[in-house]
Amino acid sequence: MFIDEIKVYARAGHGGRGCVAFRREKYRPKGGPDGGNGGRGGNVILRADHDLNNLIAQYYQPRLIAENGGHGLGKGMDGRAGKDLIVKVPCGTTVWQVGGEERGAEEVCEELPASKGLLGTLSRPVIRYAGSVQALEYDLSADTPSALAGSRKSRGILVTDLLGHGQEFVLCRGGRGGLGNRNFATAVRQTPRFAQPGEPGEEGEFLFELRIMADVGLVGYPNAGKSTLLTAISRARPKIAPYPFTTLHPQIGIVEYPDYRRLVVCDVPGLIAGAHQNVGLGHAFLRHIERCKILVLLLDMAGTDHRAPWDDYHQLLKELELYDPDLMARPRLVVANKLDEPAAEENLKKFKRRIRKTPVLSIAAAFGDGVDLLKQRLREAVEKVEGQD
Ligand SMILES: Nc1nc2c(ncn2[C@@H]2O[C@H](COP(=O)(O)OP(=O)(O)OP(=O)(O)O)[C@@H](O)[C@H]2O)c(=O)[nH]1
Ligand SMILES: [Mg+2]
């Protein structure tokens, strides 16, 4: 199963209660207050991991709840801190806060109800969820590809975008532990019979959205031979069949070069006219090409499905533009496939005549013809993009 979008509930651990206790010991009458402090609650931390390629773990475990802090105890014993919950997510995961209107830090402040025997209010107001505050502080331009920033429709409040392997983000902060009664002893109040309760941990509902971070995105009509090409240039073995929509989920392949340079290539399901409006397999998978450094437009030059390649070309560009106009600025290679078929030669001539300025690379993916040159071109194009960054 391939999951690229999932809603989760996250809650950090609550802080432990402070303790009300008095020292009892032989020969030490009225030993004074010695209630320990509560431990802090565990944080919910997201960590990007390049070994993962989809959000299946969150599909099976959509509630991310960190451990609570331990309560304080007598004899001055502090509660233990709650363990942080580290959640691994694939690189390229964007986190949105959902299910709550945008709130400022002041508005989410909330005081604990006063209760008998406890310190009525905390000195610091409790913040239920301060995620929106973190989101505001997050600098989009710092580590997000410029092509991404601003191009997406909002899906809530953007909380974070995890790109590089090992990048971490504290999604929900654990509550602080309450202070034990020994902290409240003064010269005039030597037996404080109250302690602080712990703060609640932050909580919220979030949408995790994965946009695969590949170097090259393969775009084309169904049956154009995208999966065949991926098989020819990498060790990936996606399903190949002579009917449309064989590929239902994005597939990843690694192209290796003799000098150990590697490129990540992403084969997405076929695009058809109206895909941006959810026709065919829809536009859900189109998000996976948003972060590709270059795009390969693969055309079936033999017209096996009785379509003209130049119509396909214009339609593909139109769909990409309608989905996200920024994609038009992305460097792209136009590749003509199935050149082994008799009709392809003639079509290629016509195609080149109609689309004059665009260079076209011709291959026969099923037979490996022209594939080495294509690999070279892919590398050059990717390195050019990387050089500009
Ligand atoms: N003659 C010829 N057939 C090819 C070539 N490349 C792919 N095919 C055939 O085209 C058909 C479709 O290939 P796929 O690789 O599954 O196409 P796809 O673009 O991944 O299709 P979807 O996953 O449905 O979007 C298969 O029957 C392949 O054998 C080629 O270079 N020459
Ligand atoms: Mg395919």
Low-confidence ranges of the chain (pLDDT < 70): 100-154, 282
Probe ligand 1: pick from 218, 219, 227, 362, max atoms within 8 Å of CB?
227
Question: How far is it, in rounded angstroms, from Cα 205 to Cα 67?
Answer: 18
Probe ligand 1: pick from 246, 363, 371, max atoms within 8 Å of CB?
246
Q: Scanning the structure block, which residue is given the tokens 């239902």?
A: 248
pLDDT at residue number 153: 58
Kindly give the number of the ligand 1 atom that is closest to the alpha carbon of 247.
23
Domain 216-388 has CATH 3.40.50.300: yes
Q: Could you give the maximum distance between any two Cα atoms of the chain, in Å?
A: 106
Helices then strands, counting H and E runs in the chain, come out as 8, 16
pLDDT at residue number 144: 38
Superfamily of domain 5-210: GTP1/OBG domain (2.70.210.12)
Q: Tell me, in angstroms, the distance from the centre of ligand 1 to residue 225's CA.
A: 3
Q: Tell me, in angstroms, the distance from the centre of ligand 2 to residue 253's CA.
A: 12
Please state, in angstroms and as integers, the Cα–Cα distance from residue 209 to each residue in 109, 192, 200, 362, following that order. Answer: 29, 50, 27, 35
Domain boundaries, the chain: 5-210, 216-388
Query: Nearest C-alpha to atom 24 of ligand 1 is from which residue?
Result: 245
pLDDT at residue number 280: 72
Query: Nearest C-alpha to atom 32 of ligand 1 is from which residue?
Result: 338
pLDDT at residue number 285: 84
Query: Nearest C-alpha to atom 14 of ligand 1 is from which residue?
Result: 225
pLDDT at residue number 199: 95
- Find, among 315, 301, 272, the residue nearest to 360 by Cα: 301
Q: Tell me, in angstroms, the distance from the centre of ligand 2 to residue 364's CA.
A: 15
Strands across the sheet containing 157-162: 63-65, 5-11, 203-210, 93-98, 157-162
Kindly give the number of the ligand 1 atom that is closest to the alpha carbon of 220.
19
Pairing of strands 126-127, 109-110: antiparallel
Say which ligand is closest to the CA of 298: 1
- Is 86 in a helix, a strand, or coil? strand
pTM of the model: 0.79
Question: How far is it, in rounded angstroms, from Cα 201 to Cα 199?
Answer: 6
Probe ligand 1: pick from 221, 234, 240, 371, max atoms within 8 Å of CB?
240
Instruction: Give the residues surrounding ligand 1 with Cβ less than 6 Å away.
Output: 220, 222-228, 240-242, 244-247, 269-270, 337-338, 340-341, 364-366
Residue 30 has a CB neighbour count (10 Å cut-off) of: 9
Strands across the sheet containing 44-49: 85-90, 44-49, 168-172
Tokens of 184: 């409240």
Say which ligand is closest to the CA of 302: 1
Say which ligand is closest to the CA of 244: 1
